[in-house]
Amino acid sequence: MFTGIIEAVGTVTSVSPLGRTAAVRIESAGLDLSDVSIGDSIAVSGVCLTVKSLGAQSIDFDVSAETLDVTIGFHEADRVNLEKSLRLDTRIGGHLVSGHVDAVGEVDEVTETDGNRVMRLRFPEALARFFARKGSVTVNGVSLTVNSVDSGVFSVNLIPHTLAVTNLGDLRKGSRVNLEIDLVARYVERMLGDTGAGT
């Protein structure tokens, strides 16, 4: 479990295909690895991955075929958002994030407004019921507030701090992103859709 508050931006230094899976190494930059062990979970641009091995400032992961199929994937030189898993004594500044990507979205438009950046992103219509104005969404692992929703497009406002400490400042029209819907919305939908059959 994560909060969507990014701790560092790393760089993908190698991607080694292994059939339909891949081995990925990430240079972890400013991420403190002193309390990270093999087997721990780290969110990499919103994708929950398990640490396979550690270097002084690098982390190795094995990435499954399923993960590669439902995310934007990993490519050498990509800048990626990094967040260590939530501890019980951690302040939750964002919202509860599972690190399980629901869909790939695409940046539709980027505009500058008073030093902030407003970004409109397209999402699959199948997820429309999970988006609500002032609700939460995770974009590349970053916890954000939905400003507006309209027929397959939602908008978010990115303040200068967010642009400075995440990879969202790299996004342009046409960029693909990992999307995770709000965890609470997912369970509410499940409960409302449950007719009680078989229980």
State the pLDDT confidence band at 193, using cuts at 50, 70 and 90: confident
Q: How many other C-beta atoms lie within 10 A of the C-beta of residue 58?
A: 17
What is the rounded average pLDDT of the residues 76-91?
88
> Mind listing the domains of the chain with CATH numbers?
8-84 (2.40.30.20), 103-191 (2.40.30.20)
Alpha helices per DSSP H over 20-94: 65-70
Residue whose C-alpha is closest to residue 141's, from 187, 66, 84, 64: 84
Contact 146, 132 (CB under 8 A): yes
Give the C-alpha distances (Å, rounded to integers) separating 146 from 34, 62, 160. 35, 32, 17
Give the C-alpha distances (Å, rounded to integers) separating 32 from 6, 8, 35, 92. 12, 9, 7, 18
The pLDDT assigned to 16 comes to 97
**pLDDT, tens digit, 9 for 90 and up, residues 137-163:** 999 999 999 999 998 999 999 999 999
pTM: 0.91
